[in-house]
Amino acid sequence: MKSSRLTSVLPAKALCVTTVCLCLGSLPTLSVSQETSSEAEESVTQPQASQKSEANLITQQVVRLGAFSCAARVEQVTSYLGFGPDTTITIRTPKKPANQKSLSIALNVPSIAEDAMAFADFYPLGTDCTATYHLVFTSEEPCETVAAQRFSEVGQQRKVGEKILLLTSRNGMRVFLNDAAGGCTVTKTETLE
């Protein structure tokens, strides 16, 4: 199995991110790894200067990859999750035809918490797209405080274990709050159709 590396240029200032984040000043680069299975991972970091664009960098890259039917959903999910100046993402490139195959994105979300990670999967359905995301982070507050302060709009609460509280909303969003030493581990998941 042979593997080749390509580098393409983004229209905005970005940092090159491979397995380890490398600071290359304001070089607008994108790291792309292509394998014979046509699966590749791409990484990009949001520019420090505010970008005046209709779509964030993740959405722009998804469009470049050819996943047009999921572009609006990618914009919705990544903007909601808090894609910002310190966010690093990895995109699993869809197999060809890209507009008809699933797409996965992983990102850290320091705007939510220092250790926050989000994972989102996008599934094209004709001209529409379904997405499921999972957001995981740790809060120093007890789970009861996290439930009251961060998820007060989520309706139903029930214990699903000795240390796990499940919050469920009418639209299907679920938040698992797990009492951990020194705080609360939060896992939020939702499917958007």
Structural domains in the chain (count): 2
Across the range 54-82, mean pLDDT stands at 91
Co-location of 184 and 107 in the same domain: no
Domain that residue 64 falls in:
3-124
With a pLDDT cut of 90, the percent of the chain lying above it is 50
What is the tens place of the pLDDT at every residue in 120-143?
A: 999 998 778 999 999 999 999 999
d(CA 118, CA 124): 20
Q: Examine residue 164 and state whether it is found in any structural domain, yes or no.
A: yes
Co-location of 21 and 76 in the same domain: yes
Co-location of 73 and 7 in the same domain: yes
pTM: 0.71
Co-location of 8 and 69 in the same domain: yes
Query: Quick one: tokens of 159?
Result: 């214990």
Q: Examine residue 119 and state whether it is found in any structural domain, yes or no.
A: yes
For helices 57-65 and 71-81, angle between their N-to-C axes, nearest 10 degrees = 150
Across the range 36-64, mean pLDDT stands at 60
Co-location of 7 and 98 in the same domain: yes
Paired residues of 160 in beta bridges: none
Co-location of 151 and 88 in the same domain: no
Q: Examine residue 133 and state whether it is found in any structural domain, yes or no.
A: no
